[in-house]
């Protein structure tokens, strides 16, 4: 009997809702804009009236704006509140406190790691590219709540946060307790290994090109005979900066260009006639994405170096950040980029010339871990054979 009553109530509500919508449609006509407004108004009223809990008007309005962008099903596009937009800008201009991990919305709607920032708490805890962050401090999260999860992972230096990751490659979950620290992104590191110069680029921000040129000049003064550029775990960043790095390396010609939805050229970067006349090896892995793939793709297309490691992440689209007069804003996918040979690598990645796996129990990568970093060892081997 109770079930029948419940079903009757639901049917009644549906009928009332349908009749109300029909009446409103007849009253205001059936133009697309008017009908959409009627639907939204009806949905708002229905939610406010029947939702079990109180509706916060501010959250409700923000949710509607976020929903517009979320309907695109694009993990790289998002609406930001004023405070969220300010924090978005921190990554390219400043430093912050947290665990140091670059994340995005995965196609499975899980929070997906692009890469941990080198030497960050997340990096030292063993978080890897493609890991899924499924819990933060015991609370389950999907990518729909990526901003909230990010805020919880940030915090005061020295405080701890519990992270649960799922690793698709092993099918296993793992609980990690990570101590927050200052995440100041030093984007370029260098070292001379015998007569080979090593430059690691962790991301591309406003200072990266200048740092790269300074470190490369220092290595050249030490009479290096070849160069390793390590882009492993580099999640990308500013396209202009990546192009400046390429300009120092490549001969005259196209570096990268981008087209919008109408196939109009959004930008194009070209290299001048001066180039680096040294054998080059470029290291990439699953965490090399976006701007780092621009660099690797251009070097590959010009046959200016040997690509070593694992296939890159595969992000060949470009986002534009726009702040509105009210302080809030949007990050929206607006174009796709192409390597000099006209290839878009989105969802495909860049396949290395020489594929090298790393040991499963490796503690880190880079010159500090040369004894176990098989990819770096292979780069040195190749360059010693060429120089």
Residues 291-330 have pLDDT tens digits of 999 999 999 999 999 999 999 999 999 999 999 999 999 9
Classify residue 227 by burial, with Cβ atoms within 10 Å: 0-12, 13-18, 19+.
buried
Residues 260-280 have pLDDT tens digits of 999 999 999 999 999 999 999
Please indicate whether residue 270 is annotated as part of the active site.
Answer: no
* Residue 50 belongs to a domain: yes
Please indicate whether residue 315 is annotated as part of the active site.
Answer: yes
Q: Are residues 240 and 376 in the same domain?
A: yes
Residues 121-145 have pLDDT tens digits of 998 999 998 899 999 999 999 988 8
In this structure, what CATH number is given to the domain that contains residue 177? 2.30.42.10
Catalytic option among 315, 335, 373, 378: 315
Overall average pLDDT of the 154-161 stretch: 91
* Residue 134 belongs to a domain: yes
Q: Are residues 145 and 123 in the same domain?
A: yes
Q: In 106-171, where do the E strands start and end?
A: 111-116, 132-136, 139-140, 160-167
- Mean pLDDT over all residues of the chain? 87
Catalytic option among 77, 271, 290, 312: 290
Q: Which of 144, 154, 64, 67 is nearest to 106 (CA)?
A: 144
Q: How confident is the model at residue 369 (pLDDT cuts 50, 70, 90)?
A: confident
β-bridge mates for residue 329, sequence order: 80, 323
The pLDDT, as a whole number, for residue 24 is 43
Q: How confident is the model at residue 41 (pLDDT cuts 50, 70, 90)?
A: confident
CB 313 within 8 A of CB 293: yes
Report the C-alpha gap between 348 and 40 in whole angstroms. 38
The pLDDT, as a whole number, for residue 1 is 41
Q: Are residues 233 and 138 in the same domain?
A: no
Q: Are residues 257 and 372 in the same domain?
A: yes
Catalytic option among 181, 230, 301, 373: 301
Residues 54-68 have pLDDT tens digits of 888 888 888 889 999
The pLDDT, as a whole number, for residue 90 is 63
The pLDDT, as a whole number, for residue 159 is 95
Domain assignment of residue 144, given as a range: 95-183
77 has pLDDT over 90: yes
When divided into structural domains, the chain yields a total of 3
Q: Are residues 229 and 338 in the same domain?
A: yes
Burial 134-167 (b: 16+ CB within 10 A, else e): bbbeeeebebeebbebbebbbeeeeeebebbbbb
Q: 151 or 88: whose pLDDT is higher? A: 151
Report the C-alpha gap between 234 and 223 in whole angstroms. 27
| Neighbouring C-alpha atoms within 13 Å toward the C-beta of 249 | 30
* Residue 267 belongs to a domain: yes
CB 71 within 8 A of CB 52: no
């Amino acid at each position: 009997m109770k079930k029948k009553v419940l079903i009757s109530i639901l049917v009644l509500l549906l009928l009332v809702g349908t009749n109300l919508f029909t009446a409103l449609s007849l009253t205001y006509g059936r133009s697309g804009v008017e009908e959409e407004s009627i639907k939204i108004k009806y949905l708002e009223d229905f939610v406010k009236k029947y939702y079990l809990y109180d509706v916060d008007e501010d959250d409700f309005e923000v949710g509607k704006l976020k929903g517009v962008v979320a309907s695109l099903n694009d993990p790289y596009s998002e609406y930001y509140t004023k405070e969220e937009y300010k924090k978005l800008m921190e990554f390219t201009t400043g430093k912050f406190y947290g665990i140091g991990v670059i994340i995005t919305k995965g196609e499975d709607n899980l929070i997906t790691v692009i890469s941990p920032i080198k030497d960050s708490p997340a990096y030292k805890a063993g978080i890897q590219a493609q890991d899924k962050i499924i819990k933060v401090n015991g609370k389950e999260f999907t990518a729909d709540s990526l901003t909230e999860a990010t805020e919880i992972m940030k915090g005061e230096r020295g405080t701890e946060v519990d992270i649960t990751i799922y690793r698709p490659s092993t099918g296993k979950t793992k609980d990690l307790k990570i101590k927050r620290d200052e995440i100041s992104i030093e984007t370029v590191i260098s070292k001379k290994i015998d007569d080979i110069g090593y430059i690691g680029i962790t991301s591309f921000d406003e200072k990266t090109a200048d740092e790269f040129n300074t470190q490369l000049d220092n290595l050249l003064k030490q009479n290096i005979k070849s160069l390793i550029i390590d882009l492993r775990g580099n999640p990308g960043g500013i396209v202009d900066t990546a192009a400046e790095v390429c300009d120092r390396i490549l001969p005259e010609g196209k570096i990268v260009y981008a087209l919008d939805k109408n196939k109009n050229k959004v930008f194009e970067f070209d290299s001048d006639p001066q180039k680096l006349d040294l054998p080059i090896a470029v290291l990439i892995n699953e965490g090399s994405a976006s701007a780092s793939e621009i660099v690797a793709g251009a070097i590959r297309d010009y046959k200016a170096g040997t690509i070593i490691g694992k296939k890159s992440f595969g992000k060949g689209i470009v986002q534009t950040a726009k702040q509105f007069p009210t302080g809030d804003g949007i990050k929206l996918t607006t174009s796709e980029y192409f390597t000099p040979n006209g290839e878009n690598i989105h969802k495909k990645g860049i396949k290395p010339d020489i594929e090298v796996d790393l040991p499963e129990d490796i503690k880190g990568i880079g010159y500090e871990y040369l004894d176990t970093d098989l990819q770096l060892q292979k780069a040195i081997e190749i360059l010693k054979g060429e120089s």
